[in-house]
Amino acid sequence: MEFKVQLGPQHPALHEPISIRMTLDGEVIRDADLRLGYNHRGVEKLAESRSFIQNLYLTERICGICSFSHQTCYTQGVEKLMELVPARRGLYIRTLVCELERVHSHLLWLGVAGQEAGFESFFMYTWRDREVVMDILDWISGNRVHYSMNTFGGVRRDIDEMQRKKILDTLDLLKQRTDYYLNLAASEPTFVGRLAGVGKLSRQQAIDLCAVGPTLRASGVPMDVRKDDPYAVYDEIPFEVSTADSCDVLGRAVVRVKELIQSYRIIEFLLKNLPEGPFKVKAPRKVKPNEVYSRYEAPRGENVHYIKSNGSDKPERLKVRAPTLANYPATIAMLKNGFIADIPLIFAAIDPCICCAERLVQLDDGRGRGRVLRFSELRAMANERAKKIDYTKREIAWPF
Amino acid sequence: MIERLVHWSRVKSPWVLHLNTGACNACDIEILAALMPRFDLERFGILLKGTPRHADVIICTGPITRQNRDRVVRIYEQVPDPKFVVAVGACAMSGCVYRGSYNANLGVDQVLPVNAYIPGCPIRPDALIDGVVKLLNSLK
Ligand code: SF4
């Protein structure tokens, strides 16, 4: 017998509000449907009423874990619009913070995966070490989460010789610990057994459903914006794209651990080759009318910002496509024919950042291609619906 | 007698419910970080709970979005009396950068009665500990 179960929007397994509606057949999920919008704050609309500089701090607050991804993606776009070449030292520092953010995000994810798999002490371990990265970020930027490092033409703060040494020293500690996790995870049969074979997503499915980031790379597709379309100084840095072929949650964990090791290498390279010179150049206030598409490899996958300017000091349109949103269709495919007990694990494996993904998309065909609604269209739709309201129900009391 | 015992246990070991009411996730992560080995909020007897029916304190992060509003009120009603609400972060206090949005309120106190505010965007785990300890002291 089939029955329907709703999970969320407030559920201890999900740290953020989202609702999953499932059709179950016993323990097996036959169909799943995601409902979003509990966290929608209208950032895109707000951006239109603020200046380019103010939007630096707004885009940062799209998401708290990958705050620097959104800010950098936006900054790069606006710099392209301004036809501004940022300072080289600034770009190096920017890339450094990008990679530090990737390290803290992946450590966080490892812990969450450990917790969802029932490996509570692993959770505590990785979060303890995550504090080391947070400390580094704190030294560099003065804040633990929202670094506010970017500005048009470079970064807002320089790093000095002492900070450079200190970061290089702490990096050794992180490397040791990551090696330890790698061995621990590989030699702990219960952990591996819990993750292997869960949430299968074949290579073809991953491509068809437009998955991004570690979810895609764990299905054996070596796609990484840092390699395919290098931004900042990634074209000068030697690193490898990490992939796995197992197509399951274990593969996604492996990809992330490999990426951690790559990130340490990148950070080391950046710090050792930090060029001298100014860390920012002066940027114009107004932006010529134009439009731009900016890509960035966030810890969770490809992040895309579309910015349109109209010659004033405010953007005419800002459109954000966060990686989690691109991974939702793939998540549904992973959930199907899985077990209820695997939901938190599968869901955690895409490293969902729900507040990032609260974008308005209207799906107009079954293949996951979205159409974005303009606010005016939405208002017209709302008016259209208001006309059809059954006015006999008018006396129903307003709940507040 | 029983009342004094209940009060004592409530002050010594409050159970908290963490409620994301439209936050950008940064404050949520910092709350989790406060529970982790470095800061270890649990040494004050504070325990994170998954269900509102077991909780004494609701920690709200975020300005409460329109769609979340009804649900937040419903969750608040499920928490047994006496209950306390802590607004964590600048956007839970006053809207922060989301001020003027069509979909976000101007803070938690527009919807729920708030007992303590913890400023910061995001809050530092030390600030959270400070706020919670102050709330507990005021209950004594
Ligand atoms: S206070 Fe700031 S960091 Fe915290 S949830 Fe709100 S916007 Fe995010």
A164 assigned to some structural domain: yes
Helix A161-187 with A249-272: angle, nearest 10 deg: 160
A169 assigned to some structural domain: yes
Return the pLDDT at A63.
Answer: 85
Structural contact between residues A76 and A229, judged by C-beta atoms closer than 8 angstroms = no
Same structural domain, A321 and A390: no
Question: Chain A window 110-149: which residues touch B at a Cβ cutoff of 8 Å?
Answer: 124, 127-128, 130-131, 134, 144-146
Measure the CA–CA gap between A135 and A141, rounded to whole angstroms. 10
Q: Do A61 and B96 touch (CB under 8 A)?
A: yes
Q: Which amino acid is at A292?
A: V
Measure the CA–CA gap between A395 and B4, rounded to whole angstroms. 46
Same structural domain, A89 and A169: yes
Same structural domain, A185 and A118: yes
Residue A134 contacts by C-beta under 8 Å, 6 or more apart in sequence? A104, A144, B33
Return the pLDDT at B105.
Answer: 83
Minimal Cβ distance to B101: which of A45, A353, A356: A45
* Overall number of domains in chain A: 2
Q: Taking the mean position of all CA atoms in its chain, how far away is CA B115? A: 9
Measure the CA–CA gap between A35 and A4, rounded to whole angstroms. 14
Return the pLDDT at A396.
Answer: 41
A320 assigned to some structural domain: yes
Same structural domain, A128 and A222: yes
Separation in Å, CA A149 to CA A92, A122, A133, A141, B95: 12, 31, 16, 6, 23
Same structural domain, A112 and A243: yes
Measure the CA–CA gap between A8 and A15, rounded to whole angstroms. 10
CATH number, position A281:
1.10.645.10
Same structural domain, A154 and A284: yes
Minimal Cβ distance to B104: which of A16, A41, A108: A41
Ligand 1 centre from A315 Cα, in Å?
A: 23
Measure the CA–CA gap between A294 and A348, rounded to whole angstroms. 27
A268 assigned to some structural domain: yes
A94 assigned to some structural domain: yes
Q: pLDDT by residue for chain A (400 residues), tens digit each? A: 677 777 767 766 566 777 777 787 877 888 877 777 778 888 888 888 888 999 999 898 888 888 899 999 999 999 999 989 999 999 999 999 999 999 999 998 888 888 878 788 888 888 888 899 999 999 898 888 888 899 999 999 899 899 999 999 999 999 998 888 888 767 778 888 778 888 888 888 888 888 888 889 988 888 888 888 898 889 889 988 988 888 888 888 888 888 999 999 999 999 999 999 899 899 888 888 999 999 999 998 899 999 999 888 889 988 888 888 888 888 888 888 887 777 777 877 777 766 665 655 444 444 444 455 454 555 566 556 555 554 444 444 443 3
| Domain region containing A374 | 2-38+367-396
Q: Do A399 and B70 touch (CB under 8 A)?
A: yes
Check if the interface score ipTM surpasses 0.95. no
Same structural domain, A201 and A55: yes
Same structural domain, A248 and A292: yes
pLDDT digits (tens, 9 = 90+) for B96-116: 888 888 888 888 888 889 989
A231 assigned to some structural domain: yes
Tell me the β-bridge partners of A290: A309
Q: Which two tokens stand for residue A370?
A: 């979205």
Domains detected in chain B = 13-139 (3.40.50.12280)
Same structural domain, A26 and A174: no
**Is B125 a residue whose pLDDT tops 60?**
yes
Return the pLDDT at A362.
Answer: 47
Return the pLDDT at A383.
Answer: 57
Measure the CA–CA gap between B137 and A345, rounded to whole angstroms. 39
Instruction: Judge residue A7's burial from the number of C-beta atoms within 10 Å of its C-beta, 0-12 exposed, 13-18 middle, 19 or more buried.
Output: middle
Same structural domain, A325 and A184: yes
Return the pLDDT at A330.
Answer: 86
DSSP letter (8 states) at residue A67: H
Ligand 1 centre from B59 Cα, in Å?
A: 13
Return the pLDDT at A376.
Answer: 52
Same structural domain, A112 and A162: yes
Structural contact between residues A115 and A123, judged by C-beta atoms closer than 8 angstroms = yes
A361 assigned to some structural domain: no
Separation in Å, CA A343 to CA A67, A117, A326: 26, 11, 18
Same structural domain, A371 and A293: no
Give the residue-averaged pLDDT of B50-73: 86
> According to the per-residue pLDDT averaged within each range, which of A28-37, B35-44, B71-80 is highest?
B71-80
A362 assigned to some structural domain: no
In this structure, the residue with its CA closest to atom 3 of ligand 1 is B122
